[in-house]
Amino acid sequence: QVQLVESGGGLVQPGGSLRLSCAASGSISNFYTMGWYRQAPGKQRELVAEITPRSSTSIADSVKGRFTISRDNAKNTVYLQMNNLKPEDTAVYYCNARHALVGVRDSWGQGTQVTVSS
């Protein structure tokens, strides 16, 4: 496991942008698929985007074309660039690190609040 700390959340108007960062305590370059999840009040946590150690990405249909996930292995950090934000994007966003080995538990950050409102 690695420790994860999210940052970059806040209040933004519809159509605005935010960049979330997730800093890991250890190396994530070789074995960790990194993901961003979000959870709105009363709803289940959902996967927003993932990026593999080889930087292949998966983006949820609800945010495709607006959100981009990237990673900087030298900094052990993953980012979520969120553009053209909508009110329905309002949620707590969580960073996740999934190891390639099934015996290693996932790591989760504490979450960062994103609120999209006029």
Q: Model confidence over 48-73: pLDDT tens digits?
A: 999 999 999 999 999 999 999 999 98
Cβ atoms 60, 45 nearer than 8 A = no
pLDDT at 29 (0 to 100) = 82
Average pLDDT over the chain reads 96
Is residue 86 predicted with pLDDT exceeding 80? yes
Q: What does the pLDDT read at residue 28?
A: 84
Predicted pLDDT of residue 1 = 77
Whole-angstrom distance, CA of residue 100 vs CA of residue 31: 5
54/95 Cα distance (integer angstroms): 18
